[in-house]
Every structure is written in C-alpha cells, then in structure tokens.
Amino acid sequence: MAAGRGSAASAAVTLAHVAARDWHEWHRPYDDPGSSLARRLAVVQRCVRAAVDRQAPGPVRVISMCGGQGRDLFGALASHPRRGDVVGRLVELDERNAEAARGAASAAGMENVEVRTGDAALTDAYRGAVPADLVLACGIFGNLADADVARTIAHLPQLCDTGGTVVWTRHRRPPDLTVDIRRWFAERGFEELAFEAPPDTRFGVGTHRLVAAHAPLHTGVRLFTFLESGRP
C-alpha cells in the first residue's frame, strides 16, 4: 500500500483503479430509495445539514473528499437557508461525476463551492481550501486498507479547523472497522458527536468535531490508495 510522499507509481495505481471501475455507474443505486446507498445518503445529508446549522453566522468552509456527484453536499443543502454561505471545494477524480457535481452546485445555487477534477488522495488538492468548517469523507474508508484509513484520519486535523466537523462513512461488515475508526478519531483530537448504525443496515455514519488545534497542511503527501476490492 502506498504511503507517505506522493509518487508517480502510487498515482498510477489510483488512476488505474478508477479506470477499472465505472464510478459514474456506481452512483446509480442512489436513485433507488430502497438501496443501501440511498438510505446511507439520507443519514449523511441529515448530518451535513446539522453541521451547517451549528456554524456561526458567516461563511461556512467545506471540503468534500472524493465528492462524486455532490449528492452528500449539494443534495443536502439545496434548500437549506444557509446554502449561500457555503464556500470551499469538492474534489473528484472521475470527470463525468465532477461534471454532474458542477450541475448540482449550479442547481442548488452553490457556485461558491469549487468542483475540482483531481486526486482527493493527495494533500495538494486542498491547498487554498483549508482549514474547513466541514469535511466530508464519505464512501472512502470502505475502499481502503486499514492502515490507509488510519493515515487519512491522522491527517484530517490539517484539513479541518478547530471546532470543525468531519462526517464519514464505513460499512460494518465483519471485521467491523468502525470501532477502530472511532478510536483513531479520538486519538487525533476529535470528539464524537454522533455515530449512526441502523440495526437493519450494514453501514455506519460518524460525525466528529476537532477539539485539538488545526495543523498546518503538508503538501506532497498521498493519504490513501483505493483497493480493487473496496466496499464503501
């Protein structure tokens, strides 16, 4: 598993994985209200709205990692009274998904959120967008080796402002890594605001707030590499 400084080799692995899997088609189950992805999305969107509600008046800075078509963010806030306050960046490697996200941002009146086509695994993707009041890491951890999940969490204080919120997801199929994930957040200076794991589902959605100090962004770092067998 790639680690530490970004390299051409690890970038090639990520790009090869994206090419091997149709991530645009992967979003199709969201359109089925009874699907697991649609049910998870409803929980995530509620957490996103709650996070924005907690913010003081003024701009709300957001980062969406591997943001896909923007359903977690733009879908949650399209009718929110503070959607005009939201600024920041959504990073997505698949150009078709990024284009869909741009359309969603425009439809929601949230053009102040930049949709950038790029590799969300590289810290360089967030230069100029940190620290954020809200960081979305949804649909990521299920696609990573455990060590990369831990590494990504360890770097989140570089993306998140003190008092800012991280919303994340992970499946709970055995072995259930969400117990370790919640511990890793605590070890990195986050307090848990909520963890939702509906008993008739296999997903978990966590909300954590950074109580430690925001850390300076270290560019040139690769946080993770997607696995071929990943299951979000």
| CATH number of the domain bearing residue 35 | 3.40.50.150
Evaluate whether residue 222 is within a structural domain: no
Evaluate whether residue 190 is within a structural domain: yes
Evaluate whether residue 1 is within a structural domain: no
Evaluate whether residue 74 is within a structural domain: yes
Model pLDDT, residue 27: 56
State the residue range of the domain holding 44.
8-210
Evaluate whether residue 220 is within a structural domain: no
Evaluate whether residue 112 is within a structural domain: yes
| Mean of all residue pLDDT scores within the chain | 89
Given a cut of 60, whether residue 151 has pLDDT beyond it is yes
* Alpha helix segments (H runs only) across 34-177: 36-54, 74-77, 95-107, 146-159
Start-to-end CA span in the chain (Å): 18
Q: Give the burial string for 92-115 (b: 16+ CB within 10 Å, else e).
A: bbbeebbebbbebbeebebeebeb
Given a cut of 90, whether residue 170 has pLDDT beyond it is yes
Model pLDDT, residue 135: 98
- Judged by DSSP in three states, 179 sits in helix
Evaluate whether residue 79 is within a structural domain: yes
Domain count, the chain: 1
Q: pLDDT tens digits for 80-127?
A: 999 999 999 999 999 999 999 999 999 999 999 999 999 999 999 999
Give the model's confidence band at 13: pLDDT under 50 very low, under 70 low, under 90 confident, else very high: very low
Give the model's confidence band at 29: pLDDT under 50 very low, under 70 low, under 90 confident, else very high: low
Model pLDDT, residue 217: 98
What is the Cα–Cα distance from 213 to 157, expressed in whole angstroms?
7
